[in-house]
Amino acid sequence: MAINEKDIGERDIRLFQETISEYSDYDFSDYSANSLRRRLNRILDSYGSDFDRLIETIRTDEEALEEIVKKITVSTTELFRDPTIWQHIIQKVFPRFKLHSSINIWHSGCSTGQEVYSMMIALDQFGLLERANIYASDINSDVMKIAKKGDYRLRFNREYISNFNDVFSPGMSEATGQQFKTHEKYLKINESRDLIQMKEFLRSKPVYKKIDLVKDDNLFFLNFDIIMCRNVIIYFNYELQNKVLRLFHRSMRESGCLVLGLHESIIGPGTKYFQKQNNYYVRMKKDA
């Protein structure tokens, strides 16, 4: 039987954080307590274990520790998730950089890569892909392997095509004056193999790197025009959120744009560095 979330107390969460820090290079001390409580509850359920046994496993089994970390940091994503956000990116963000000779884009917390492919497809629809440099990072090396491969199960992801059609709808075509290409240019669908596969010209473009936002700096060592970090900082506490926002500010060109998740927002000190416009944030000049 799974332990109830209410049974995982503050002392348990601190013990988990301290044990992870002691036995690995990972640091969950600034993760949201509520997020950790929910993830730990699921882990205990999947392991059929109690909390004390989980802590002992972390201390004695390095491979299991890595698996637990991956379960804590796992995120969900999909092609053109929240189509209205992508419509705003196309209509409001892309025009800011249309005259740039190069466009640097960082997908921070890229997970299994669907958002990276969404961005490249959108850029290609507007003739910007050749000028774009695409970088992606995550704390979890396994999900980045999936991203690089660009293969997804059809039966679980049929909404990808619906999302694509919502973003590149006749209404959007009329609003932007663009003639959009169909999804066949970008992905192959194989019903018999239950497979959606991204085309090679998309798979070969991004540069991937393992980056832990808790402790790492910008390991790409360049400044970005667009940073995508959707549904990541929602798992961080207030202090870590603002630390990451300062990192993004330092990693952006002066006119850069930051796109967060639909239910994420910038409050407190972060408002000194980014100003909200529509469904994205614009970098302010203040040094971070």
Q: What is the CATH number of the domain that holds 220?
A: 3.40.50.150
pLDDT of residue 82: 93
Number of separate domains in the chain: 2
> Same structural domain for residues 139 and 63?
no
pLDDT, one tens digit per residue, over 138-197 is: 999 999 999 999 999 998 898 999 999 999 999 999 999 999 999 999 999 999 999 999
Residue 196 lies in a domain: no
The band of 46, judged by pLDDT with boundaries at 50, 70 and 90, is confident
Residue 182 lies in a domain: no
pLDDT > 90 fraction of the chain, expressed in percent and rounded: 72
The mean-pLDDT minimum among 67-71, 94-98, 237-241 falls in 67-71
Residue 123 lies in a domain: yes
Distances (CA, A) of 270 to 102, 110, 177, 231: 27, 22, 36, 17
pLDDT of residue 6: 44
Residue 16 lies in a domain: yes
Residue 164 lies in a domain: no
Q: Which of 55, 73, 91 is the last residue of a domain?
A: 73
> Same structural domain for residues 139 and 248?
yes
Pairing between β-strand 195-198 and β-strand 187-190 as defined by DSSP bridges: antiparallel
For residue 186, give the 3-state DSSP assignment: coil
> Same structural domain for residues 9 and 110?
no
pLDDT of residue 5: 43
Give the chain's mean pLDDT.
91
Contact 187, 121 (CB under 8 A): no
Containing structural domain, residue 224: 83-149+205-283
Residue 117 lies in a domain: yes
pLDDT, one tens digit per residue, over 249-263 is: 999 999 899 999 988
Who has greater pLDDT, 57 or 72?
57
pLDDT of residue 200: 98
Is the model's pLDDT at 3 over the cut of 60? no
Residue 45 lies in a domain: yes
> Same structural domain for residues 233 and 274?
yes
Q: Which of 24, 45, 73 is the last residue of a domain?
A: 73
Q: Which of 14, 42, 73 is the last residue of a domain?
A: 73
pLDDT of residue 49: 78
> Same structural domain for residues 15 and 119?
no
pLDDT of residue 69: 87
> Same structural domain for residues 106 and 9?
no
Q: What is the mean pLDDT of residues 39-54?
A: 86
d(CA 42, CA 50): 11
d(CA 133, CA 137): 14
> Same structural domain for residues 212 and 276?
yes
Is the model's pLDDT at 288 over the cut of 80? no
> Same structural domain for residues 211 and 135?
yes
> Same structural domain for residues 12 and 139?
no
Residue 185 lies in a domain: no
User: Is the whole-model pTM more than 0.75?
Assistant: yes
pLDDT, one tens digit per residue, over 83-140 is: 999 999 999 999 999 899 999 999 999 999 999 999 999 999 999 999 999 999 999 9
d(CA 40, CA 217): 27
Contact 231, 75 (CB under 8 A): yes
pLDDT of residue 31: 85
Residue 177: what are its φ and ψ, rounded to 5°?
Answer: 75, 20
> Same structural domain for residues 143 and 240?
yes
Pairing between β-strand 207-210 and β-strand 132-138 as defined by DSSP bridges: parallel
> Same structural domain for residues 145 and 42?
no
> Same structural domain for residues 135 and 226?
yes
